[in-house]
Structure 1
């Protein structure tokens, strides 16, 4: 299970970096979103992979899931959604102003 999660985090990060290196605003927004998903998944996994265990600490229980990373990821998802919406609107406005979605404002070839 850990290898699968590590591979998913690696693929999300690699895809995000690849999309960030493109010269168009929409692909950069997708790249930032993929990287934020990779970071959120990493933080979530740091709370221990404990399938079927309640996220509460019982007296004397050793196999519990930590609820703090879950709360951090939930907060990060909400903030990430708001920032993604803002960046998409900003990119649409820049495309309208410059006539191109190239990050430098130059026409793509």
Structure 2
């Protein structure tokens, strides 16, 4: 049995709505997005699990007419996982509401400073290497190499005294 077109469209709509809600900065919408994505996944697993049949009790009907019990177990597991993630997100929403009296995530000043520091470090790394990927010869690198060459013979002869 193939999946019906209506079920396929419903699953696609649920996935797109869940992802849309998940990308918002409001934690309540993120929670709703996770719940919608969980339901879309459950529908996808059920509809791709094969034809519906009689209950999977041995001896009640022929094995060819039974439905697959693995699909039902996977959906039950997915429901429990979605419930756990929802409980975790609810606790985060409650904590955020208790502290800030809002559920929108604001851009933190510390996040901005870390981002600027990373961009500055990347710029320094790019300046140390030329376009071919080899290290460029700057005065500081030459000075370090000269000091290393002077220190190596002095260490080998016992400190130069």
For normalisation by structure 1, the TM-score amounts to 0.80
Matched, 1:39 2:41: yes
CA RMSD of aligned residues (A): 2.0
Larger radius of gyration: 2
Unaligned runs of 5+ in 2: 109-161
1:3 paired residue among 2, 5, 14: 5
Contact 1:20-1:27 within 8 A present in 2 as well: yes
* Residue 64 of structure 1, CA deviation: 3.7
Partners of 2:86 and 2:71 lie apart in 1 by 22
| Partner of residue 31, structure 2 | 29
| Partner of residue 54, structure 2 | 54
Unaligned runs of 5+ in 1: none
Runs of 4+ in 1 over 2 A off after TM superposition: 55-59, 103-106
Partners of 1:70 and 1:104 lie apart in 2 by 40
For normalisation by structure 2, the TM-score amounts to 0.56
- Matched residue of 1:76: which SS? helix
Identify which of structures 1 and 2 has the higher relative contact order when contacts are C-alpha pairs closer than 8 Å and 6+ apart: 1
* Residue 48 of structure 1, CA deviation: 1.2
Q: What whole-Å deviation, never above 9, does each CA across 1:18-60 have from its counterpart, x for those lacking one? A: 111221000010001101111111111121132xx2143724x
